[in-house]
């Protein structure tokens, strides 16, 4: 009897660390993404940049804009893709309608937080409904981070009896 053996997933996880600094996340959604063959090969090699990306609802569909996926080096120019083309995100219609209404009503934005491969080998993009931080919020986060580091140093250097 033959059984299917699943290979371990060694594909990289691509994070948008700048988004965590610029925005406060309210809700997070896991979406599928529609890609062409050379795009998925490039993502498996870790050549994806989410930094300037955003998502927008257009005609009842969720689209990911301004995300850079490098061309695949081993493919000819004929088969390669446009690096920053809009890509369709796959999400349930009710979730898309909810995102569209919340985004229009309260001036929120949708930013990609991470891209990763799930256990089944499918590429998933985590999209967050977010509110932009002002400068005071950013300073507060930096101050809290520095205080936590200082507290860790003090606790590490304290002699325990």
CATH architecture of 14-133: Beta Barrel (2.40)
Residue 5 has pLDDT above 60, yes or no: no
Average pLDDT over residues 52-78: 84
pLDDT of 124 reads 93
- pTM for the structure as a whole: 0.75
CB 96 within 8 A of CB 85: no
How would residue 53 be classed by pLDDT, with cut points 50, 70 and 90? Answer: very high
Query: Based on C-alpha coordinates, what's the Rg of the chain?
Result: 20
Q: Which of 125, 118, 126 is nearest to 9 (CA)?
A: 118
DSSP state of 116: E
Residue-wise pLDDT tens digits, 76-117: 566 666 678 899 999 999 999 998 888 887 878 999 999 999
Domain ranges of the chain: 14-133
pLDDT reported for residue 80:
67
Contact yes or no for 125/99 (Cβ under 8 A): no
CA dist 150 → 146, 157, 158 (Å): 6, 11, 12
Both tokens of 113, joined, read 């937080």
């Amino acid at each position: 009897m033959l059984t299917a053996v699943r290979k371990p997933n060694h594909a990289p996880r691509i994070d948008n660390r700048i988004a965590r600094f610029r925005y406060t996340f309210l809700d997070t959604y896991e979406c599928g993404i529609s890609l062409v063959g050379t795009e998925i090969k490039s993502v498996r090699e870790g050549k994806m940049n989410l930094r300037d990306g955003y998502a927008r609802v257009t005609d009842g569909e969720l689209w990911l804009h301004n995300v850079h996926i490098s061309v695949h080096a081993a493919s000819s120019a004929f088969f390669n893709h446009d690096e920053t083309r809009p890509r369709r995100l796959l999400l349930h219609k009710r979730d898309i309608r909810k995102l569209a209404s919340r985004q229009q009503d309260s001036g929120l934005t949708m930013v990609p937080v991470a891209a990763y491969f799930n256990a089944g080998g499918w590429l998933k993009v985590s999209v967050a409904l977010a509110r932009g931080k002002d400068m005071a919020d950013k300073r507060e986060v930096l101050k809290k981070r520095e205080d936590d580091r200082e507290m860790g140093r003090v606790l590490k250097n304290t002699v325990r009896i």
